[in-house]
């Protein structure tokens, strides 16, 4: 068996072998399966051939081979939580496969697999076992496969083993193509143990590992009249096989873990360099974290290269979850700076030859990953702030359990998995309410399942639309604030109803309406609908399907019936505030493009009565000067009171006028062109009559919301006036507290800050003196050092609480002692803190990051760091002295095993 083949060599050997056998070599299909809503990601090699197998697509070849990019992180194929602890599992992997579409069948597939494994790769026969379908649930055993394996391999019953439906029968779905399959297993480890077949591999990866699965599609499954499944022979039986490249690399390279193979090991080592920790290939938590990072970096790089961006829903949310899991593990390892983008770029370097899209989109991968890292690290800090608040509350009440609701909030809002919350809580002596967490998680799942019922609800809306005589509800709100119409449909409790009684939540559909339905970022109108014997307060107006306007509200008086004549009145004051904010949004867009450049394109907006929100493309925060200039441009246009005009034009005419278009594919052939001052955009919303109606325009915040996307929140008119008054009140209260006038507040604050900086310098000077043993120097502390196996070792407790001062003390003592190991500790805010430093001449024998861990455990904490410097904290300060004194025994024990004389060659 050769141990020289790299993963790239194996991929080429596989494809070359099947090319020589007359197979068409087909490039990997995309990770996002086109035209297949049943799959979030491609999870097997046969995905791109699905329609070929079912006969819906014809190709000019009948046999093919490929190396398919796969992700298993959703649905029934979800390996996420196994990644890290397992030496085998991955979220991203490559599936090698050969396929026959009605060409060759079992015998040739078995011969090809056996020839490639034992001939091309040279795998020893004695390490292989083959399986076949033994028959189950009324389906006969696959005796053909059994006999073919015996013939081809020369194996007897001990190595040709029958398995049941769970392992050796494959189906595309409840109905459709299906058939028995055969698996080939390889024994990983020193001595082959046939008796271990069927048992799980050990934690170290020793045991029988499946390396190739051959699926024999020979039946069509259909439902009989009695509901029972029926199997009938396919007219053209086919072959679908799959062999994981990472597993093949593992056995060919003589490893016990996939993460020790060439590509993955390089990614693990890249992550290890950032962590400052060696990778040992163990189940140690640090090694587990390094494996997670290596795996998730591949998934991250490949998904971004295919255009998936981290976000809140669907595939984008899955990517964000993967990225944040990797970042959390980096945080766990003590990595303080952004790192995942560098590991992802290493993926592009290592795999860019086979998958050119990685190199072509290298800069995109860097930008997106780094931005998400920065964003999530800020989120982690906010989550930790929330935890600190909860810890303080628990301390006040004398409780020692974090509520399940709080644990779920940390997960749902800040991305903290339960295990991370538990680790942080354990350091503070706090437990987590698991039952409460599970209950909150279940409620969230139920809400998600409710959202999944949308298709049934959508059908109700389509039926409601059929009742509108013109085929769509006519909007009259451009011309009037109230209108007459009649009720064509009522929806109560998700069903069409003839009548809605007092108190009922109801959705009302009328032939025409002045109510604007939420669209283009503008929120829906509020108001009332008045009938002959009832009144509905409208709380929202939406467009659930094209052409339909639904007024959502509650019957507050009497009742409302289908067919009744009604009068519809919008909330005019609220609409006017929305108009002002919507028109201001257009001026803001124009001003942004003027100030920061034409790349500042709209990516989304929300226009409400109290404020407006505008998302735009830009890769860095706006400066204070840019924000002021944007405000000035908008306010200059409002002061000039430019008329706001709307024209109805064809799309061609609008383009000729130079209109700015957002989401162009959503526009129809006839559009509304909105113009005010220099702004010229397509828009179907409602607007002010002139720019002067907008009033004062004020930006209240600017922040990043996604990679390359910024968000501005602003207020206008009454909202701007309220904001300024609130700000004025805060300034007044601050001035009063500092006993000065508002006009001199900044001068007063600057003086206070100067005084604070002066006091801080004095405190730092005193801390440094105290840290080095007081005015008389550190001699008294140095005298406590002991010599152990030729190494000077010192452990001291100090009253210094500042961690920087502790580090300075440790370094000072180490430098004074020379070739030495120094541990210093103190208590700060009720917690133990420790700093350990090792002279650079000793780091080959003693590593600070390793020494600190058992010491930290004594005070109920954890720690880590570089080989020459490490830090730790703990929740049990009462045992600090014991922890400090333990350094002497620890060094004595380690010195026995690290004595250079004991390891030198004889």
Give me the CATH number covering residue 42: 3.30.930.10
The answer to whether the beta carbons of residues 187 and 193 sit under 8 Å apart is: yes
**What does DSSP say about strands 791-797 and 820-828: parallel, antiparallel, or unpaired?**
parallel
pLDDT at residue 234, rounded to an integer: 82
The answer to whether the beta carbons of residues 716 and 695 sit under 8 Å apart is: yes
Question: Would you say residue 498 has pLDDT above 50?
Answer: yes
CATH of the domain at 883: 3.10.310.40
Same domain, 216 and 92: yes
Last residue of a domain, one of 551, 570, 589: 570
Please provide residue 720's backbone torsions phi and psi, each rounded to the nearest 5 degrees.
Answer: -65, -40
Four-CA torsion 811, 812, 813, 819, nearest 10 degrees: 70
Q: Among positive and negative, which fits the CA dihedral 739, 742, 748, 752? A: positive
Same domain, 514 and 652: no
pLDDT at residue 663, rounded to an integer: 38
Give the three-state DSSP class for 392.
helix
Number of domains in the chain: 6
The answer to whether the beta carbons of residues 504 and 418 sit under 8 Å apart is: no
- 641 pLDDT band, cuts 50/70/90, is very high
Same domain, 822 and 675: no
Question: What DSSP element (H or E) covers 274?
Answer: helix 262-275
d(CA 837, CA 813): 9
Same domain, 255 and 277: no
Same domain, 781 and 887: yes
Give how far Cα 801 sits from Cα of 329, 832, 848, 860, Å: 29, 10, 21, 19
pLDDT at residue 39, rounded to an integer: 82
Q: Which of 670, 657, 478 is nearest to 579 (CA)?
A: 478
pLDDT at residue 454, rounded to an integer: 45
Residues ≥6 apart with Cβ < 8 Å to 12 = none
pLDDT in tens, 859-891: 998 888 889 999 999 999 999 999 999 999 999
Question: Would you say residue 743 has pLDDT above 80?
Answer: yes
Q: Which residue has the higher pLDDT, 545 or 359?
A: 359
Apex 182 CA angle, 86 and 31, nearest 5: 55
pLDDT in tens, 197-248: 988 877 777 899 999 999 999 988 877 666 677 888 887 899 999 999 999 9
Please provide residue 813's backbone torsions phi and psi, each rounded to the nearest 5 degrees.
Answer: -65, -40
The answer to whether the beta carbons of residues 614 and 589 sit under 8 Å apart is: yes
pLDDT at residue 688, rounded to an integer: 94
Instruction: With respect to residue 439, please indicate whether it lies within any of the assigned structural domains.
Output: no
CATH of the domain at 600: 3.30.980.10
Mean pLDDT over all residues of the chain? 88
d(CA 63, CA 21): 9
Instruction: With respect to residue 427, please indicate whether it lies within any of the assigned structural domains.
Output: no
E strand map for 717-830: 786-788, 791-797, 820-828
Instruction: With respect to residue 519, please indicate whether it lies within any of the assigned structural domains.
Output: yes
What is the full DSSP assignment across 520-534? TTBPPP-EEEE-SSE
pLDDT in tens, 321-380: 899 889 989 988 989 899 999 999 999 999 999 999 999 888 889 988 998 888 887 777
Tokens read off for 403 = 């509520």
Mean pLDDT for 518-531 is: 93
Instruction: With respect to residue 409, please indicate whether it lies within any of the assigned structural domains.
Output: no
Can you give the residue range of the structural domain that contains 315?
Answer: 264-375
Same domain, 764 and 820: no
Give the distance from CA 29 to its chain's centroid. 23
Q: Which residue has the tokens 């056996």?
A: 114
Please provide residue 668's backbone torsions phi and psi, each rounded to the nearest 5 degrees.
Answer: -90, -170
The answer to whether the beta carbons of residues 517 and 546 sit under 8 Å apart is: no
Instruction: With respect to residue 732, please indicate whether it lies within any of the assigned structural domains.
Output: no
Instruction: With respect to residue 414, please indicate whether it lies within any of the assigned structural domains.
Output: no
Same domain, 93 and 234: yes
Instruction: With respect to residue 324, please indicate whether it lies within any of the assigned structural domains.
Output: yes
Last residue of a domain, one of 260, 278, 305: 260
pLDDT in tens, 297-308: 999 999 998 888
**What does DSSP say about strands 24-25 and 63-71: parallel, antiparallel, or unpaired?**
parallel
**What does DSSP say about strands 565-570 and 527-530: parallel, antiparallel, or unpaired?**
antiparallel
Four-CA torsion 95, 97, 99, 105, nearest 10 degrees: -130
d(CA 667, CA 520): 11
pLDDT in tens, 430-467: 999 999 998 888 887 666 544 444 455 677 888 888 88
Instruction: With respect to residue 394, please indicate whether it lies within any of the assigned structural domains.
Output: no
CATH of the domain at 486: 2.40.30.130
Of the listed ranges 383-392, 438-447, 697-706, 726-735, the one predicted with least confidence? 438-447
Question: Would you say residue 639 has pLDDT above 80?
Answer: yes
Same domain, 184 and 285: no
Same domain, 270 and 249: no
pLDDT at residue 604, rounded to an integer: 83
What is the full DSSP assignment across 282-318? SSSHHHHHHHHHHHHHHHHHHHHHTT----SSHHHHH
Same domain, 99 and 244: yes
Same domain, 696 and 763: no
Question: Would you say residue 775 has pLDDT above 70?
Answer: no
Tokens read off for 333 = 């390892």
Same domain, 613 and 664: yes
pLDDT at residue 2, rounded to an integer: 44
d(CA 857, CA 430): 16
Q: Crossing angle for the helix pair 314-332 and 362-397, nearest 10 degrees?
A: 70
pTM of the model: 0.52
């Amino acid at each position: 068996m050769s141990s020289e083949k790299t993963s790239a060599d194996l991929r080429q050997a596989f494809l070359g072998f099947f090319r020589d056998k007359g197979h068409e070599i087909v490039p990997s299909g995309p990770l996002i399966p086109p035209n297949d809503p049943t799959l979030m990601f491609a999870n097997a090699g046969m995905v791109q051939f699905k329609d070929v197998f079912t006969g819906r697509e014809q190709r000019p070849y009948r046999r093919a081979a490929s190396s398919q990019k796969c992700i298993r992180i959703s649905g029934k194929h979800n390996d996420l939580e196994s990644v890290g602890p397992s030496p085998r599992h991955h979220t991203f992997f490559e599936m090698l496969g050969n396929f026959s579409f009605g060409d060759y069948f079992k015998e040739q597939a078995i011969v090809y697999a056996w020839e490639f494994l034992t001939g091309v790769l040279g795998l020893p026969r004695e390490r292989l076992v083959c399986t076949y379908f033994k028959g189950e649930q009324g389906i006969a055993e696959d005796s053909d496969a059994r006999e073919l394996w015996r013939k081809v391999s020369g194996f007897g019953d001990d190595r040709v083993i029958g398995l049941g439906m769970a392992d050796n029968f494959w189906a595309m779905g409840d109905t459709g193509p299906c058939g028995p399959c055969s698996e080939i297993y390889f024994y990983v480890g020193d001595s082959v143990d046939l008796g271990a077949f069927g048992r799980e591999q050990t934690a170290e990866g020793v045991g029988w590992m499946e390396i190739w699965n051959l699926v024999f599609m020979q039946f069509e499954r259909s439902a009989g009249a009695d509901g029972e499944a029926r199997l009938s022979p396919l007219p053209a039986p086919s072959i679908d096989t799959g062999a994981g490249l990472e597993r093949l690399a593992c056995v060919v390279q003589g490893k016990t873990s996939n993460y020790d193979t060439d590509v993955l090991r390089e990614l693990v080592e890249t992550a290890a360099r950032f962590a400052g920790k060696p990778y040992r290939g163990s189940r140690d938590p640090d090694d587990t974290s390094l494996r997670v990072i290596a795996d998730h970096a591949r998934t991250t790089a490949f998904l971004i290269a295919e255009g998936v961006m981290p976000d809140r829903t669907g595939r984008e949310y899955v990517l964000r979850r993967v990225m944040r899991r990797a970042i959390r593990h980096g945080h766990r390892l003590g990595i303080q700076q952004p790192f995942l983008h560098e590991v992802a770029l290493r993926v592009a370097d290592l795999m860019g030859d086979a998958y050119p899209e990685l190199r072509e989109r290298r800069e995109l991968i860097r930008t997106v990953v780094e931005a998400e890292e920065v964003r999530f690290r800020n989120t982690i800090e906010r989550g930790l702030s929330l935890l600190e608040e909860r810890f303080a509350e628990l301390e006040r009440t004398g409780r020692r359990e974090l509520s399940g609701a709080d644990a779920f909030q940390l997960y749902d809002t800040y991305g903290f998995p339960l295990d991370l919350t538990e680790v942080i809580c354990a350091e503070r002596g706090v437990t987590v309410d698991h039952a409460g967490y599970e209950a909150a998680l279940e409620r969230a799942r139920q809400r998600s399942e409710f959202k999944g019922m949308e298709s049934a609800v959508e059908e109700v809306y389509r039926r409601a639309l059929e009742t509108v005589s013109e085929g769509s509800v006519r909007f009259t709100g451009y011309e009037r604030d109230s209108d007459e119409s009649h009720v064509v449909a009522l929806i109560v409790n998700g069903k069409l109803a003839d009548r809605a009684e007092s108190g009922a939540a109801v959705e009302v559909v009328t032939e025409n309406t002045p109510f604007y339905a939420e669209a283009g970022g503008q929120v829906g109108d509020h108001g009332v609908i008045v009938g002959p014997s009832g009144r509905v307060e409208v709380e929202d107006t939406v467009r659930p399907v094209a052409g339909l306007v639904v007024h959502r509200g509650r019957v507050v008086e009497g009742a409302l019936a289908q067919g009744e004549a009604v009068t519809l009145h919008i909330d005019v004051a609220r609409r006017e505030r929305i108009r002002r904010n919507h028109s201001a949004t257009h001026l803001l867009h124009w001003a942004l493009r003027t100030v920061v450049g034409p790349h500042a394109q709209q990516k989304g907006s929300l226009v409400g009565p109290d404020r407006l929100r505008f998302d735009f493309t830009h890769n860095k925060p706006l400066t204070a000067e840019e924000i002021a200039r944007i405000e000035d441009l908008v306010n200059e246009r409002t002061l000039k009171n430019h008329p706001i005009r709307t024209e109805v034009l064809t799309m061609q005419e609008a383009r000729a006028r130079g209109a700015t278009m957002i989401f162009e594919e959503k526009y129809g052939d006839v559009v509304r062109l909105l113009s005010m001052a220099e702004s010229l955009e397509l828009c179907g919303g409602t607007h002010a009559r002139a720019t002067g109606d907008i009033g004062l325009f004020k930006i209240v915040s600017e922040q990043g919301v996604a990679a390359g996307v910024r968000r501005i929140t602003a207020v206008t008119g009454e909202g701007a006036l309220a904001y300024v008054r609130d700000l004025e009140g805060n300034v007044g209260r601050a001035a009063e507290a500092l006993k000065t006038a508002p006009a001199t507040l900044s001068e007063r604050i600057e003086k206070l800050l100067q005084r604070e900086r002066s006091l801080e310098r004095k405190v730092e000077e005193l801390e440094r003196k105290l840290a080095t043993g007081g005015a008389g120097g550190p001699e008294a502390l140095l005298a406590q050092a002991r010599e152990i196996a030729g190494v000077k070792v010192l452990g001291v407790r100090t009253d210094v609480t500042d961690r920087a001062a502790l580090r300075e003390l440790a370094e000072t003592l180490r430098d004074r002692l020379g070739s030495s190991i120094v541990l210093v500790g103190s208590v700060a805010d009720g917690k133990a803190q420790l700093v350990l430093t090792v002279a650079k001449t000793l780091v080959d024998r003693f590593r600070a990051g390793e020494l600190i861990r058992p010491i930290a455990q004594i005070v109920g904490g954890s720690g880590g760091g570089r080989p020459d410097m490490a830090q730790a904290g703990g929740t049990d300060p009462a045992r600090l002295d014991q922890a400090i004194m333990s350094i002497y025994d620890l060094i004595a024990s380690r010195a026995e095993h690290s004595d250079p004389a004991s390891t030198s060659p004889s």
